Amino acid sequence: MLKRTFLSALFAFFGAITGLVVCALLTPIFWRLEGPLGLELAGHSGPAEGLLIGFAAVSAFVGFTVAFRRRRT
């Protein structure tokens, strides 16, 4: 049980890091979408905080789910 919990937390952590990196790599696309959408998606220093948090949360959830289901079967 402890091994599954640790593995799930590890997958969630690396999933969150992966989400942050992917979000940073998508910054040029966010700059192009700002005009048509009328939203500030990325500033001069990178993506907006909301996008960073969203990408990290979704990636962490996916990582946790994959690890939990993988160890359960």
SS3 readout for 5-63: HHHHHHHHHHHHHHHHHHHHHCHHHHHHHHHHHCCCCEECCEECHHHHHHHHHHHHHHH
pLDDT of residue 70: 62
Greater pLDDT, 69 or 63: 63
pLDDT of residue 1: 65
Q: Is the Cβ–Cβ distance between 20 and 52 less than 8 Å?
A: yes
Q: Is pLDDT at 7 greater than 70 in this prediction?
A: yes
DSSP helix/strand/coil, 1? coil
Mean pLDDT of 20-26: 91
Mean pLDDT of 48-69: 85
pLDDT digits (tens, 9 = 90+) for 25-36: 999 998 999 889
Q: Is pLDDT at 72 greater than 60 in this prediction?
A: no
